[in-house]
Structure 1
């Protein structure tokens, strides 16, 4: 039996929920016995409680009680985490059996620390599925207005590292993350790299003339620069803001450039405030779109921006890149010029890379694509082809299935 543990699951739309839902449903469809332990909450609607127990597309879902303070306050968020840890641990203790494979995702943070001793007690195998590395991310971006003492971070590092070394396998979503795990003392044979993915069947390129959202949002006749998904503390809008300033006063013969920001996040409102303060126009904000409209939403832009703070390379991999590739659109990555996504973009000629915080260079790269629609189209076709061949959900499912089939041979507690 496969038991996934994560705070959010279908029908929630958060990033960890969507990627987990894809994997759980995909493995269930291939004949695996799949259970999920999650909370009853939705990421952006904590008052909307989901059923405590149900079977969805062959996956049995156990949703446990948690507090509902939400993300606005650090203390309330910490209480939400603790109550999920306790409730999920109790459910897992009753559910897990010898020989089961428990797959712990990373929401809430440090989930592996709670799951590892239960896996040991039950004779189950633990797989840590690392969407990010905590507490590294917290140390880099901070925790709201508060910061933890260094000794607390030292303790968190020690506990987390012990849970990584105790696992039968640690699945990193990028090569740089795998390198970081090796530097933490995790054995090479307990590290696997399986990148996140897009569903190439669900997300398809939509031509501008056939895209109802592009018309609904008033983007016809413009070259559209998109940013889709979370704009959080791991990202940085300074380069984007600088590029908007420079391109807002471009020559009259240049194509009309519009900006489409879809989603939310911790920096979302701050970005809007700075745009208003500078009197910058031509930026459209839209809410998160349902999965059934992602083809239209992602295809509404002619090029997409993906960014990551350079100090977070190896701790986070921006998964929005995969949806952009599925929609057949170029990517401009903003961040470490030798970062995980930067390397893919360069190697496969999927767009370009701009330095962190450099609005002038970003504006130049956007202008070059706006003036060369043929190149933009060619890059988009390459991105779609790479998605179908390497970044599609089907490819990831194959990798996960092979990994899980090999795990029992290791034996519980294998050295």
Structure 2
């Protein structure tokens, strides 16, 4: 497995790939991981051994210097260093026809480079599509739509798809986007829809009154709406801040936990709108052991995706939100994977980005009707337990890799 993020990095991809590698090892596959040093808001003094055994998985880490990911420029540097290092290391490996590569598309251009590497080495590979490129770069405005870079990058991505033994999609809309990108020339049977997941034993519902995090941060009395995760350009947290103005002095509190490129902009927007800490509060990423308590400290959990990202990625936040057993407020287009799943399990409401009226109505409906609120929270947890646990998803990966 090649993944930029792996234990103990706090990025959601790192957590998921750690679960996947160790889970496949437990099920009988001989797993090795090639990864980087922790660099994603993981705190200081986190340097890890270059080589170690983690729960039976052989882990090799990059030796080249990397920097903490606090800006796009720093990420570009890390991506470049990681791609070059991975290519050199894999090409110098002793040829082994039994080797099969698994890689995740979280790092731009890495899938294309690894596809070329696999073709040189004669290896088969599984392409896990977490973020679709160049779609993400186009939607964020870094690459011109249908420009020369977009066309070449798309052609190379489809070339990578066609050579894959397996392609993993995280949602039906993402699958449609992959097929459309290839003009439906791909063999649909090689695409497996396997959702991301949360650890059902790590995250469990906790009543606010029994939650020390709720008590410590004054969340027991107000109706609390929580977002916890990356605060990046592709998350529409501006809508969250703006709707908070509708609830000044109404015993409703918004809590945003996390870090990211857009955090300072969101904080400044809250300041410009004269929102005090009684209405909206910002906290940094929480220590790993505190996460089961911070996630369950409120009454509603937010999942938010920027407009234009339909099928480009499926927020892993959705699965942790359902796991906590609270209604989910999904801010996304109606035909986005996150909205479809929220509706499928009657686990909350989905609203379009910028639709402050609908968000206000949703929050007020939960406040007015505690039984309705509790019912949707139970639906979220049941839907999670029956579909999106770590065991479900890793079993699906194992079946795919064993059968193919």
Q: Which bin holds the TM-score, normalised by the shorter protein?
A: over 0.9
* From 43, 49, 52, the counterpart of 1:51: 49
Q: Does 1:226 align with 2:230?
A: no
* From 72, 83, 87, the counterpart of 1:89: 87
4+ residue runs over 3 A deviation: 45-48, 69-77, 146-149
* From 13, 20, 34, the counterpart of 1:37: 34
Q: What does 1:159-238 align with in structure 2 at a 5 Å threshold?
A: 159-185=156-182, 186-238=186-238
Q: Which residue of 2 aligns with 1:65?
A: 63
Conserved? CA contact 2:214–2:297, under 8 Å:
yes
- Determine the C-alpha separation between the residues in 2 that align with 1:182 and 1:280: 44
Q: Which residue of 2 aligns with 1:410?
A: none
Q: What does 1:234-253 align with in structure 2 at a 5 Å threshold?
A: 234-248=234-248, 250=250
Q: What does 1:356-395 align with in structure 2 at a 5 Å threshold?
A: 356-395=353-392
Q: Which residue of 1 aligns with 2:265?
A: 270
- Determine the C-alpha separation between the residues in 2 that align with 1:95 and 1:6: 20
3-state SS of 2:229 partner: strand
Q: Does 1:349 align with 2:346?
A: yes
Q: Does 1:141 align with 2:136?
A: no
Q: Which residue of 1 aligns with 2:311?
A: 314
- Determine the C-alpha separation between the residues in 1 that align with 2:145 and 2:334: 31
- Determine the C-alpha separation between the residues in 1 that align with 2:382 and 2:67: 43
3-state SS of 1:224 partner: strand
- Determine the C-alpha separation between the residues in 1 that align with 2:11 and 2:194: 20
Shift of residue 29 of structure 1? 1.7
- Determine the C-alpha separation between the residues in 1 that align with 2:44 and 2:53: 22
Shift of residue 135 of structure 1? 1.2
Conserved? CA contact 2:39–2:67, under 8 Å:
no
TM-score if structure 2 supplies the norm length? 0.93
TM-score if structure 1 supplies the norm length? 0.91
Conserved? CA contact 1:299–1:327, under 8 Å:
yes
CA RMSD of aligned residues (A): 1.9
3-state SS of 1:266 partner: coil
- Determine the C-alpha separation between the residues in 2 that align with 1:319 and 1:226: 15
Q: Cα gap change, 1:385/1:76 in structure 2, threshold over 3 Å: closer, same or farther?
A: closer
Conserved? CA contact 2:232–2:262, under 8 Å:
yes
Unaligned runs of 5+ in 1: 251-255, 408-415
* From 252, 261, 286, the counterpart of 2:283: 286
Shift of residue 70 of structure 1? 4.5
3-state SS of 1:313 partner: coil
Shift of residue 20 of structure 1? 0.3
Q: Which residue of 2 aligns with 1:27?
A: 24
Unaligned runs of 5+ in 2: none
3-state SS of 2:295 partner: helix
Conserved? CA contact 1:238–1:358, under 8 Å:
no
Q: Cα gap change, 1:248/1:82 in structure 2, threshold over 3 Å: closer, same or farther?
A: same
- Determine the C-alpha separation between the residues in 1 that align with 2:391 and 2:242: 39
- Determine the C-alpha separation between the residues in 1 that align with 2:221 and 2:353: 30
- Determine the C-alpha separation between the residues in 1 that align with 2:299 and 2:94: 48
- Give the number of aligned pairs: 397
3-state SS of 2:357 partner: helix
Shift of residue 249 of structure 1? 5.4
Q: Deviations over 1:306-344 (max 9, x none)?
A: 111231101111110100111101101112012111111
Conserved? CA contact 1:131–1:317, under 8 Å:
yes
Conserved? CA contact 1:350–1:380, under 8 Å:
yes
Q: Deviations over 1:149-200 (max 9, x none)?
A: 9322222222222111111111011111111111122321221110101111
Of residues 71-80 and 111-120 in structure 1, the stretch that sits farther from structure 2 once superposed is: 71-80
* From 300, 316, 321, the counterpart of 1:324: 321
Conserved? CA contact 1:243–1:363, under 8 Å:
yes
Q: Does 1:114 align with 2:113?
A: yes
Shift of residue 55 of structure 1? 0.4
3-state SS of 2:226 partner: strand
